[in-house]
Amino acid sequence: MTTSAAVAQDARKKGVWWAFPFHQLLSTVGIPVLAALFTFAVSSPARARWVLTETPYFPVQIGVALFMGLVLPRFLRHWLMRWVWVLPFTILCVSFILTPLPLVGRFERYFGWGCRPELRCFVQLAVTLPFYTAVSYSVAAFLRSAIERRKQQLETAK
């Protein structure tokens, strides 16, 4: 490795202490907020609330996370973007295991229609939604890096 490349790599490692917390907050808090702003801008408040909070699997938030995960690596080349799913997954696993319900009830509570905000149950919004958005964000960042790697291979093969 040349001296300038080693210096650049060292500066990259030292300069990204903020990258993981940034991407963690963006993927778990920022994306749901961005999805809410977008949804409330294009639909009525009642419809937006239903789409954002009362539909399991949170399609709008997952779509925004996929988009952000595909677009941001073009500007922020942080390999940490691919690992933001670990913390929400750990929280989901601990919460899922500690829930005093039968197994079917737990799946219904965390992944189905058994826990909705109109029933005063916010487990999916607090635990499952951050997991979904972080996983979508990470998968999209991984796909983006795989696409870029493939492009580089094709360019060097020419």
56-98, pLDDT tens digit by residue? 789 999 999 999 988 887 777 667 778 889 999 999 999 999 9
Residue 56 lies in a domain: yes
> In angstroms, rounded to a whole number, what is the distance separating the alpha carbons of residues 119 and 49?
14
Write down the pLDDT at residue 23.
80
Write down the pLDDT at residue 74.
72
User: Nearest-CA neighbor of 143 among 73, 75, 76?
Assistant: 73
Residue 128 lies in a domain: yes
Write down the pLDDT at residue 35.
93
DSSP state of 57: T
Largest distance between two CA atoms of the chain = 61
CB 112 within 8 A of CB 57: no
Low-confidence residues of the chain: pLDDT under 70: 1-16, 77-78
Contacts of residue 131, defined as CB under 8 A and 6 or more positions apart, other chains included, come to: 85, 88, 89, 91, 92
Residue 42 lies in a domain: yes
> In angstroms, rounded to a whole number, what is the distance separating the alpha carbons of residues 97 and 103?
9
CB 111 within 8 A of CB 56: yes
Residue 7 lies in a domain: no
Residue 11 lies in a domain: no
Contacts of residue 46, defined as CB under 8 A and 6 or more positions apart, other chains included, come to: none
Residue 86 lies in a domain: yes
Residue 3 lies in a domain: no
Residue 63 lies in a domain: yes
Question: Domain count of the chain?
Answer: 1
Write down the pLDDT at residue 44.
92
Domain span including residue 140: 16-157
CB 29 within 8 A of CB 88: no
